[in-house]
Amino acid sequence: MLGTVLDALDTGARARSGPLPAGGPDGVARRLREAVGEILPEQGDPHALHTLVRAFAEGAADPAHPLCAAHLHCPPLAVATAADLAVSALNPSLDSWDQAPAATALESIVTRALARHAGATDALVTTGGTESNQLALLLARERHGGSVRLVHGANAHHSLPRAAWLLGLPEPVVVPAPGGTLDPDALDEALTGLPGPLLVAATAGTTDTGRIDPLPEIAARCAAHDARLHVDAAYGGGLLFSDRHRTRLTGLDAADTVTLDLHKLGWQPVAAGLLAVRDTRDLAALRQHADYLNAPDDTEAGLPDLLGRSLRTTRRPDVLKVAVTLKTLGRSGLGALVDQVCDHARQFAALVDGHPDFELHAPPVISTVLFRPTGATDTTVAAVRRALLTDGSAVLGRARLDGRLWLKATLLNPATGPDDLAALLHLAAASRATLVEGHTPR
């Protein structure tokens, strides 16, 4: 069956000429419907594995393709993907020790090691940055009460105000971030006179631009105002692996909680999120008892109590692929991947800057480059992106900054070469030229 899957992945990828299937949503859905036929036939189909995997691969947005650069959507490391296969085969579940003995022990090793790496004490495994941010707000609420008010920059991830809404917290205070990062003086002003308890959320690696809020200054303001600090390092957390870039996260260890996301700058198959916690007393809020999973006498007799390590019950050990990756590549191996994608961003920004038909938004901070065709309207910028998506030749993202729409290249593929970067820019230029010839209305 493994051979069948590998063959189907290969033939599917070959049938797709670029990073994305051509034809847009209608074309893709039609081809998929034709390949699938009846999904629940009366009699089973022994070829379904090949048929469906092939169609799935043909219609995929392939993050391993060097021209797939829209989102924080990484090409997974083969070794992590292989480890994840073992998880599917063994199917442990981390809601009780008797379903996951070694997984329990491995999770404890990995979470503590990664937490220490981020200057924290312990970490919970999550499905990603969204769940980590939500847990961070929940822990703050349980520690400081339901009146805790979230204060975040205008550059923060949308999951933070959404978590405040979900948890019934007061309306968050949004601090302007005109330069793309949270301004400590504006934060100070916002915190002054604001009734507590307060929870400040800073970002280390914004989703749109990869910018990093000034963490030491923010931490100092939080200390002065007795505010709790959460740092969303879903994107930037990976910089911790790099000798060259780690210092950009100075101040991270002052945070009470930190969101990390190894399915971004960690090259893991989804999901691989973490919430690192400085004071493990915060975790008491998640304590939960269900007699069939963690009866008090079992816990007293030494069986690990796992229910309080997540809001989920059945839980896949995402930690195996992470452990295999950390040990296979080592810190320096992961750091080298981080350095490569940061270098690619600098190279791509230089290409944009030297091109007469493009404007660069700003020098990249991590691995995101924002650019736009010179003199184009926002409508044209959006149309360039959609034209590339529709013909499947390149996948670029979009971001609205400083009142204008930009194309976004999020470079997460360490194997991308200089020719690929040139090709990406060339495709954007060609797409714009075609649109202008076609007299796209302004």
Ligand X SMILES: *Cc1c(COP(=O)(O)O)cnc(C)c1O
Our separate counts of H helices and E strands in the chain read 14, 12
Residue of 203, 209, 242, 416 interacting with ligand X (CB under 6 A): 203
- Does the protein bind ligand X through residue 234 (CB under 6 A)? yes
**Nearer to ligand X among residue 138 and residue 435 (C-beta):** 138
Residue with tokens 């033939």: 11
**Nearer to ligand X among residue 163 and residue 435 (C-beta):** 163
**Nearer to ligand X among residue 203 and residue 380 (C-beta):** 203
- Does the protein bind ligand X through residue 318 (CB under 6 A)? no
Asked if residues 423 and 413 have their Cβ atoms less than 8 Å apart, the reply is no
Positions in 213-232 near ligand X (CB under 6 A):
232
Q: How far apart are the first and last CA of the chain?
A: 53
DSSP 375: T
Please state, in angstroms and rounded to a whole number, the distance separating the CA atoms of residues 177 and 155. Answer: 6
Closest separation in Å from C-beta 162 to ligand X: 10
Question: Which range of residues in 29-37, 59-67, 127-135, 368-376 is near ligand X by CB under 6 A?
Answer: 127-135
Question: Which range of residues in 103-111, 202-210, 248-256, 378-386 is near ligand X by CB under 6 A?
Answer: 202-210
Residue of 18, 76, 273, 364 interacting with ligand X (CB under 6 A): 273
Strands (E), 156-227: 173-175, 198-203
Residue of 96, 104, 130, 257 interacting with ligand X (CB under 6 A): 130
Q: What is the dihedral of CA 136, 141, 144, 145, to 10 degrees?
A: 180
Closest separation in Å from C-beta 232 to ligand X: 5
Closest separation in Å from C-beta 127 to ligand X: 7
Positions in 376-395 near ligand X (CB under 6 A):
none
- Does the protein bind ligand X through residue 257 (CB under 6 A)? no
Farthest-apart Cα atoms in the chain, separation: 76
Fill in the amino acid letter for 305: D
Closest separation in Å from C-beta 265 to ligand X: 10
Residue of 59, 76, 92, 128 interacting with ligand X (CB under 6 A): 128
**Nearer to ligand X among residue 18 and residue 269 (C-beta):** 269
- Does the protein bind ligand X through residue 75 (CB under 6 A)? no
β-strands 68-69, 122-126 pairing: unpaired
DSSP three-state, residue 230: strand
Residue with tokens 């030494």: 302
Determine the length of the chain: 442
Q: Which of 414, 416, 411 is nearest to 210 (CA)?
A: 411
Closest separation in Å from C-beta 347 to ligand X: 22
- Does the protein bind ligand X through residue 364 (CB under 6 A)? no
**Nearer to ligand X among residue 134 and residue 380 (C-beta):** 134
**Nearer to ligand X among residue 18 and residue 397 (C-beta):** 397
| Per-residue x/- track, 136-175, ligand X (CB under 6 A) | ---------------------x-x----------------
Please state, in angstroms and rounded to a whole number, the distance separating the CA atoms of residues 405 and 390. Answer: 19
Structure tokens, 139:
């822990």
Alpha helical stretches, state H, 228-310: 291-294, 296-300
Residue with tokens 């019950």: 313
- Does the protein bind ligand X through residue 18 (CB under 6 A)? no
Structure tokens, 66:
């060097």
Residue of 21, 66, 75, 129 interacting with ligand X (CB under 6 A): 129
| Other Cβ atoms within 10 Å of 269 Cβ, number | 19
Question: Which range of residues in 198-206, 220-228, 244-252, 365-373 is near ligand X by CB under 6 A?
Answer: 198-206
Structure tokens, 374:
């010179």
Binding site for ligand X (CB under 6 A): 72, 128-130, 133, 157, 159, 203, 205-207, 232, 234-235, 261, 273
